[in-house]
Structure 1
Amino acid sequence: MASPVISHKIQDFPAAASPQVAPLAPGVYIVGAGPGDPELLTVKAQRLLSQADVILYANSLVPQQILAWTRPEAERVGTATLTLESILPLMIERVRSGKSVIRLQSGDPSLYSAIHEQIQALAEAEVPFEVVPGISAYQAAAAKLNAELTIPGLVQSIILTRISGRTQVPEAEDLASLAAHKTSLCLYLSARHVEESQTQLLKHYEPDTPVAICFRIGWPDEQLLVVPLSEMAKTTREKDLIRTTLYIISPALRGQKVRSRLYNPEHTHLFRPKDRSVTPSDATQDAVTLES
């Protein structure tokens, strides 16, 4: 039987107050900070940071520049040296004293962020919380590469994964099995095992498959290198790109000239019907009629 969805949504204060000056309702806001560039914060994340009373941030992964959005009087707590047993009581105590708390995570909270255990504990303590998404490193890296990772006729899926290390990956999701699909594969948290990663990937990808080595994307010292898969491990070691590195392995990075059907004049759909006498407003009305 599926587990019930945990629901402890924060009840906002009345919307009549301006969002720029209104206090935040007491609770924990688990916010995605993005990969590092402060300008890649969502508008909502920026607003919450400017209002919150307490900021707990992963200071080894979230740059100080992002804290520029916070109030001068806000309490700031770096959590790089803390364990969950230290972080959770602090959040719960602050909320129970009537304060709003932001747990600022790098990237997007849905991916390798360890929020599951935080959510479970907050729910058990009956502390309201909300999760705010952020930009993930693979999205920021694709933008830097000017790349679409889903190209018609070439690749239509993206796999986000990691190789087994101190955190084990389920056997059914081992890297070689996923590589067999030859999709755009985004490999997180694997630079310290880059030789093994390359070996597993080469079981299915061609040696000349492009690999983007994305080091600290969004940070001032970022590096972005595109090399053949056969040189992935060598380049990583030579450049010492071990910490905070993402790999994107994809045939989409080859740069083939491919056209999608969506904007092809031969492709018709609701808003571009074959009968050009039908206007978009007519098509919309037809859709409403069909739906009703």
Structure 2
Amino acid sequence: MIHFVGAGSGAPDLITIRGKQLIETADILIYAGSLVNPELLLYAGPDCKIYNSAEMTLEKVFKVMEEGEQAGKDTVRLHTGDPCLYGAVREQMDLLDEKGLPYDYCPGVSSFCGAASALNLEYTLPDVSQSVIITRMAGRTPVPERESIASFAAHQATMVIFLSTGMLKELSEKLVEGGYAEETPAAIVYKATWEDEQTFLCTVATLFQTAEEHGITKTALIIVGDVVSHHHYQRSKLYDPEFTTGYRKGNGK
């Protein structure tokens, strides 16, 4: 069996119990070496064969999977965060489907969740924002035109922006073009949940300046929206004593 496993947001103890167990029993481990915390490799058994996919093409990764399956081995394909976000996982699954090779998928804690924990942040504050847009800037890998930063900014929802730390000047411009005010609260979270995690509060206008001052050039998430300042939100109705739910009767009208 081939197991796609989410490594979590960085800290080695934030992998799921299931994910850790799969690593412990794996015969072959292929990990995303550019992003996955190497401490997770310590969970692998002494006879586990380990490959760093940062040095491999899709075809080479697939060959290791295929040969492992033919030999009756259990393979773990370890992705950073959760594989469903920017994990290039579908193309691997399609090749496995073509060959009729079995696989399953163990989810992980995404870095956008880790970034929220780093800031003690709630992305969906009542009367502020009830939606989260997860996206990235177009770079060497394009983004569909209908999903431009400016078009998403028009919604004024919370935005979590991946893979864009090296393009912060342009990012600020696109956010303002789309409708965010320059003073809109923003945050930069570097290596969320890792030992060297850093967080910086700023505004849409000062994203580039803040990153430059602190030497942040990659491996960071950008969060934009009024939830970053967490002021002026409404109390949750679920726990309001006047509000009736399916589990208790409220005391209000």
TM-score after normalising by structure 2: 0.95
Structure-1 residue corresponding to 2:84? 110
State the shift of 1:257 in Å.
4.9
Structure-1 residue corresponding to 2:18? 44
Counterparts in 2 of 1:281-292, with a 5 A limit? none
TM-superposition CA deviations, 1:201-255 (whole Å, max 9, x none): 1221122211110111122222111111111011112322112111011211112
Q: 1:132 aligns with which of 106, 110, 114?
A: 106
Residue identity (%):
37
Structure-1 residue corresponding to 2:144? 170
Amino acid at match of 2:99: A
Task: Confirm whether residue 254 of structure 1 aligns to residue 229 of structure 2.
Answer: yes
Mapped partners of 2:192, 2:184: distance in 1: 21
Structure-1 residue corresponding to 2:245? 269
State the shift of 1:96 in Å.
1.3
TM-superposition CA deviations, 1:107-140 (whole Å, max 9, x none): 1111000001000001101110011111111101
Cα pair 2:150 2:174 within 8 Å, conserved: yes
Q: 2:70 aligns with which of 85, 93, 96?
A: 96
Give the unaligned 5+ runs of structure 2.
none
Mapped partners of 2:213, 2:249: distance in 1: 55
- Please identify the structure whose Cα radius of gyration is greater: 1
> Residue 269 of structure 1 aligns to a residue in which SS?
coil
Give the unaligned 5+ runs of structure 1.
1-26, 276-292
Structure-1 residue corresponding to 2:55? 81
> Residue 236 of structure 2 aligns to a residue in which SS?
coil
Amino acid at match of 2:200: L
Amino acid at match of 2:53: T
Task: Confirm whether residue 146 of structure 1 aligns to residue 120 of structure 2.
Answer: yes
Mapped partners of 1:235, 1:40: distance in 2: 28
Task: Confirm whether residue 232 of structure 1 aligns to residue 232 of structure 2.
Answer: no
State the shift of 1:273 in Å.
2.9
Mapped partners of 1:151, 1:218: distance in 2: 23
Mapped partners of 2:65, 2:183: distance in 1: 49
Q: What CA RMSD, in Å, does the superposition of the two structures yield over aligned residues?
A: 1.2
Mapped partners of 1:265, 1:257: distance in 2: 20
TM-score after normalising by structure 1: 0.83
State the shift of 1:67 in Å.
1.2
Cα pair 2:118 2:189 within 8 Å, conserved: no
Structure-1 residue corresponding to 2:217? 242
Structure-2 residue corresponding to 1:281? none
Q: 2:4 aligns with which of 30, 39, 42?
A: 30
TM-superposition CA deviations, 1:153-188 (whole Å, max 9, x none): 111000000011111111111000001111110000
Cα pair 2:118 2:193 within 8 Å, conserved: no
Counterparts in 2 of 1:175-254, with a 5 A limit? 175-203=149-177, 204-254=179-229
State the shift of 1:73 in Å.
1.4
Structure 1 outlier segments of 4+, above 3 Å: none
- 253-262 vs 83-92, greater mean Cα deviation: 253-262
- 235-244 vs 102-111, greater mean Cα deviation: 235-244
Cα pair 2:25 2:45 within 8 Å, conserved: yes
Amino acid at match of 2:181: E
- 177-186 vs 249-258, greater mean Cα deviation: 249-258
Task: Give the number of equivalent residue pairs.
Answer: 249
Amino acid at match of 1:268: T
